[in-house]
Structure 1
Amino acid sequence: MVATLLRLFLILLFTSSVFAQQISVKAITDSSDYLIGDHINYTLTISHSDEVGIVAPFFRDSLARFEIIKEFPVEKAKADGKNLLRYKYILSYFDSSEVTIPPIKIFYRTKNDTALQSVQSDSIQLKIHKVSVKVEEDIKDIKPPIRIPFDLLSLLIWILVAIAIFVSAYLIYKKYFRKKPAEEVIKPEIILPPHEEALMKLDQLEREQLWQKGFVKDYHSRITEIIRVYFEKRFNLPALELTTSEQLEYLKLIPEAKEILNITESFLSNADLVKFAKFVPMDGVNAEMMKQAIEIVNRTAQKLKTEQGVEQNVQ
């Protein structure tokens, strides 16, 4: 009976030793001496084999005496065939004393045994103390104020540099960015021959369709004015100042105008009836006025002789 109990004890001892080799827990801090309110970097590392299944630990209650500033995500790694779990915290303590971070118990199971087992880390002793202050001394700044000596030469150099930068920036702006005034382009005045000018104005008047829109009197005033201006430029007559009869008398004295006397008389007389006698012409008369005006200009257009002696209209 004694031998049997001894055998069971040895088996349990051997099994515990094997499991102890399969899992270990280690807790460390970056120092053991801190000032009040310092950050304490605390790391708990669990190393275990694949045969061991860790029960997710919860040990915030074990750190209840400390202020938990930050909790980091769990780090998982492998080293020397073992699985590593690292739990990192930033702690702080706000009283001067010696304080202990208690052992952290980790629960686990093995593949061949469903019984819940545990292992724990070592405790850590910390010393928290105040900043030593000499009460008898006056409070001083960390560093005394530094007086910068006045240097006139340096000041002048900085002023010259600033002026140079300003002038350079202005010249660059003036050359590349400022809008230049548009250069005034003086177009040469194109002087058309009298007959071309008159035909151009008649074409413009016809496009306006004044009499078709009901402006009959304006139409007749405009068309006779175009012909009178043409006579002034073509025959040097003061046509705009002359009455119809006076104008016809002057035209009789000009050989080149004799062939248009009849059509000119009809043209000017119809216009006088509309302008002064309030005559309302038919549409055909209005259209005929344009044909007559064009014919007067074409038949009296100034002609030049070519080198072969053939007369051509001036273009």
Structure 2
Amino acid sequence: MQKILLTVATSCLTFLLSSAQPVVKTTIDKNEILIGQQFKLKVQATFSDDDYFIKWINIPDSLQHFELVEKSKIDSIFTNQKLSGLLQTFTLTSFDSGKWIFPAFNINFNLAKGDTAINLFTDSVPVIVSFSIADTTSTLKDIKAIKEVEVFNPFWYWVAGGGLMVLLLILVYWWYRVKKKNKKPELTVSKLSPFEEAMEAMNTLKTFNLSVPKDVQQYHIKLIEIYRNYLSRKEDKDYSNKTTGDILIAIKTNYSSKEVLNKSATAMRFSNAVKFAKYIPPVSDSEGNQQLIKDAIGLIETSPSN
């Protein structure tokens, strides 16, 4: 009977030793903090994934004397491509001064084979929470005597400000006189009618070589400039800085002939394509565009205003 009992005991001991016992380790980065300062608590459990099912700890957001600030994700630890442990870091703080014990928490390990469970606890750790410590190492300094308040008199500041203002007025007056003296005389108005001036200006377009891309672009810029100048003189309005859309709206409003609007729109948009899109048209198209402007001017001359 003794031999049988010894054999059974040896078998049980061998079974228990064959299963790696789980281990829980608790570490803290500092045991003394100031009020509101944070510290980190790390909990690591080492166990065999084949032998145990683990129920991990759950630290509440608030517990006596301590507040949970943040908790990291639960990191898995692998050995030989098998899960061998879990690790989690908790960031905590305290707003109560004194010496406190951070409590222990239970981690439950259930055997994969059988109903037996092992309960292990994290370590309870002491934490001292204190106020800021006064610096007693610095030397004491004598109390300084009372210093009389100096009376500030802004009089000279006002004098300096007034002088600068007078100087500024003098500079403005001098600039105005110089500008008025050097002002260029206004250009004399042409004695030609708007129609005659436009036709004469179009004759100068013959100097551009329409087979050269640079000349083609300048040709169309000058052509639309002539048309803008004609409309400005004809209607006594400044069209030099108006957009193509604004000019076409004005033509539609001022002239009843739709042909004037169509020819003007076609010619101006064609020239804009050459100017902005770098389009190089055939010579015949450029000459045809000039003819559209001439036709539009001729129609305006004979068309009654709205």
TM-score, normalising length from structure 1? Answer: 0.37
Give 1 or 2 for the bigger CA radius of gyration: 1
